[in-house]
Amino acid sequence: MELLTFEVRGKMAHFRKYYANNTAFSFSIPPRTTLMGMVAAAMGWEKDSYYERLSTEHIRFGLRVLEPIKKSFHRVNFLRVETVGNLAKSMSSDLRGHGGRIQTPFEVITPVELTRGEVAYKVFLGPSNTGDDVFQQIKRQLLDHPPVYNISLGTANFQASIGNIRAIEEPHVKEHNTNDFVLMHSAVPSKLVKELAFEKENLDRYNLVEEELLPGEFIADYNRELKSMNRLLFSLSEKPLRVRLNGSYWMVSLDGKTLNVQFMDV
């Protein structure tokens, strides 16, 4: 299998949990649907027109956290808009702030060391059985051209950049299977994990682990109804997970190192 990898970096992020009502909780990592949007923005594809091209039938996504991250709540100072008013007769309007303000909780992802760190993820992108044409199109665009539209880490005001884009040829990507514990450098579907080794006393292998159910993909173009969800186990830092798997994984040789990777959408 051939892979394309790139890094997405920014100072802050927010990936809204779609089922939250009056408080804006955030996923710790971008869901597959968000990664689809990042790729589509880089490609310059029309909004909502790429769901089928980037479906699991064509493209597979993997993700790794590159720097330690944390989440904290902040207050967003919104306008309280209860009535629009008549701007033609009076300058008084809730849209101008005359109705006062309302503070809404807002969860933000930041690096642990805010002044020096970044919110950074490494994305692994590969073709499924019928997705080589789409994959080659994405590879050419990302390797040869800057993103057509700006990239963000969730909301539009959390601007991000794409960098360190690499194409990894097939000899450097090998499928592997073992019954022993293995260090996984990417998020892993929970259904593939037989056993997790959490060794807090061993600082070299200590990691903070989360498990979340994230949106996977949509039913069709221009239809944002969810088709699937991905339950993933992942580390909140660059430290790998030490797990025993009940399935195969991919060994990726990159810059003299070997990364053990699994896709989100197995």
pLDDT of 76: 84
Q: Which pLDDT belongs to residue 202? A: 62
- Cα 117 to chain centroid distance, Å, stands at 18
17-58 residue pLDDT tens = 987 666 689 999 999 999 999 999 999 999 999 999 999 999
**Phi, psi (deg, nearest 5) at residue 84:** -75, -35
pLDDT at 89: 63
- Tens of pLDDT, residue by residue over 180-216, are 999 999 999 999 999 998 766 665 555 688 999 999 9
pLDDT recorded at residue 246? 93
pLDDT of residue 80: 84
C-beta separation of 173 from 28 below 8 A = no
Contact 218, 197 (CB under 8 A): no
Write phi, then psi, for 191 (nearest 5 degrees).
-70, -15
List per-residue pLDDT tens for the chain, 266 residues long.
Answer: 899 999 999 999 999 998 766 668 999 999 999 999 999 999 999 999 999 999 999 999 999 999 999 999 988 888 888 877 766 666 777 877 778 888 888 899 999 988 899 999 999 999 998 999 999 999 999 999 999 999 999 999 999 999 999 999 989 999 999 999 999 999 999 999 999 987 666 655 556 889 999 999 999 999 999 999 999 999 999 999 999 999 999 999 998 899 999 999 87
Tokens of 171: 């000899």
Cβ pair 14, 155 in contact under 8 A: yes
What pLDDT is stored for residue 7 in this prediction? 97
Q: Mapping DSSP to helix (H, G, I), strand (E, B) and coil, where does residue 255 land?
A: coil
Give the pLDDT of residue 87: 63
**Structural domains in the chain, sorted by start:** 3-73+107-261 (3.30.70.3120)
State residue 207's pLDDT score: 62
What is Dmax (Cα atoms) for the chain? 75
- Nearest to 103, CA basis, from 206, 23, 208, 216: 23
The token pair at 92 is 């008084």
Q: Shortest CA distance to 259 belongs to which of 63, 100, 84? A: 63
